[in-house]
Structure 1
Amino acid sequence: MASSSEESPNSIMETVKTVVYALLIAGVFRTLFFQPFWIPSGSMKDTLLVGDFLFVNKMAYGYSKYSCPFGICPVSGRILGTEPERGDVIVFRHPTSGQDYIKRLIGLPGDKVQMKNGVLFLNGEAQKQIEVSDFIEVYEPQGPVGGFPQCSNGAVAIGAECVKTRRTEALEGAEGHSILNVRNSGPGDNTPIFTVPEGNFFFMGDNRDNSTDSRFAQSAGGVGFVPFENLLGRADRIVFSSAGRRMLYFWTWRGDRFFKAVE
């Protein structure tokens, strides 16, 4: 008689089937509804920090050839979903490089967007900015890539405070959100007027002096205008966050950011 500690072939098969079914359900769930996204850079500070982990709501704006489940979507355009709203934080496919980016939606089709001395103008109107407390972080390598943050208080030593000016900016028809400033008269602080074409959108990072976004032409490595079909989904909530080089370094977890809404 086999000992009670041994598993029967039927028991092993049931375990294998359970694991396979779980993986299939997880795969379908990811394909249809949500896509995981790990924040690799500081372009969206302090809304999103390096090491934040979130799920992108793929159903928010419907499906396109880039977010399509099972390859059944049209070659161009989108099916289902609603129109994006100004102020949404969105993951999209870069129009030329094919990389996934995350930025804030600033300009809708037909909008005129311009930066003047670091102030955002929409359709000729300056968007209100209110200065609040500085954003302060430690000057040290961040995330798996190990990049260093940019500081407005000049060159600082490793382990010292890295300061950025922080403001609250309120967009037309949207609630206020935090933006950071590292330097005055940066390359994106003064721009020509951009008129957003039909079916396209204009994006910017909240860390304004550390974001390669729609202010910069695609030919120069920027994002330029982003077609509607390139939108992958909306970032609604941070699920997990770690300040360390590895996710398993539990002493670097940011518990206060777990399940934090993206605003």
Structure 2
Amino acid sequence: MTEKKASTKKEIISWVFAIVFGIVVAFVCREYIFSPVVVKGASMVPTYENKDVIIVSKISKINRFDHVVFKAPYEDEYYIKRVIGLPGDTVEMKDDVLIVNGEEYEEPYVNREAADPLQNRITENFTLQEIIGEDKVPEGFIFVLGDNRLKSADSRHYGLISMEAILGESKLRVFPFQSIKLFW
């Protein structure tokens, strides 16, 4: 074999190795570390708009008020919602005020522009007992709500979300480009 053919063969093998290595690294990252997701619908307006593209961390610890992506309970799709109740928490809504473990929380992220002018509220009163028949969020589950409460199907409608159904936490909006934002 001539020196030129040997050099060309080494170059081709080098490129094939680099491409295969890159594909393996991309697969491992997407499968176990992060994944892109396209937001569908208006349930998280104003935080996310329909067709926003986000990056979801699959290795994040889930905390209250995080935005999580999870396997929808009754559809072959993924939903994004805000974590309101963690295992052991009590959750209730009274006169449009969120109360978790007896503490009232302001919700500046909620879409209040959509409030019903007759009721002047965006979230109906509820307790966990009324929704799931228990006083506290059980171990292995979370309670989620959308930021656009009047247009969100969430734990008020389909109950708790299993921790096993969670794909991960939204960390970064990458599209549209003028709305790129890092979420901490």
Contact 1:201 1:226 in 2 (8 A): yes
Aligned to 1:154: none
Partner of 1:89: 67
- The alignment status of 1:21 with 2:21, answered yes or no, reads yes
Q: Give the match for residue 138 of structure 1.
A: none
Unaligned runs of 5+ in 2: 1-7, 129-134
Residue 115 of structure 2 contacts residue 122 of structure 2 at CA under 8 Å; is this kept in 1? no
Partner of 2:89: 111
Shift in alpha-carbon separation, 1:32–1:198, aligned structure 2, 3 A = closer
1:3 maps to none
Task: Give the 3 Å change call, closer, same or farther, for CA 186–213 of structure 1 in structure 2.
Answer: farther
> Number of residue pairs matched?
167
- Which residue in 1 is equivalent to 2:123? 189
| CA RMSD, 1 decimal | 2.6
**Aligned ranges for residues 1-263 of structure 1 at < 5 Å?**
11=11, 14-61=14-61, 84-128=62-106, 169=107, 177-181=108-112, 182-184=114-116, 185=119, 189-194=123-128, 195=135, 196-216=137-157, 218=158, 224-238=159-173, 240-242=174-176, 254-255=177-178, 257-258=179-180, 260-262=181-183
Assess if the C-alpha contact under 8 Å between 1:188 and 1:215 holds in 2: no
- What is the one-letter code of the residue matched to 2:25? I
Q: Which protein has the bigger helix share?
A: 2
Q: Which runs of 5+ in 1 are unaligned?
A: 1-7, 62-83, 129-168, 170-176, 219-223, 243-253
**Residue deviations 1:106-132, cap 9 Å, x none?**
01223222223433222344323xxxx
C-alpha distance in 2, partners of 1:106/1:99?
21
SS in 1 for 2:79: strand
Q: Structure 1 CA distance, aligned partners of 2:84 and 2:155?
A: 9
Structure 1 SS opposite 2:110: strand
- Consecutive aligned runs of 4 or more in structure 1 exceeding 6 Å deviation: none
CA distance in 2, matches of 1:59, 1:110: 22
Letter in 2 for 1:31: E
User: Which amino acid is 2:46 matched to?
Assistant: D
Over the matched positions of the two proteins, sequence identity in percent amounts to 34
TM-superposed deviation, 1:186? 9.1
Task: Find the counterpart in structure 2 of residue 73 from structure 1.
Answer: none
Q: Distance in 2 between matches of 1:230 and 1:101?
A: 10
TM-score, L = length of structure 2: 0.76
1:215 alignment partner, SS class: helix
Q: What's the CA shift string for 1:186-240, capped at 9, x where partnerless?
A: 9972243113223211001111211110111x3xxxxx101122222111122x2
Distance 2:120 2:92 in 1: 14
Distance change in 2, residues 1:110/1:206 (3 Å): same
Question: Matches of 2:87 and 2:182 in 1, distance apart?
Answer: 27
TM-score, normalised relative to structure 1: 0.56
Write the distance in 2 (CA, Å) between the matches of 1:198 and 1:25: 34
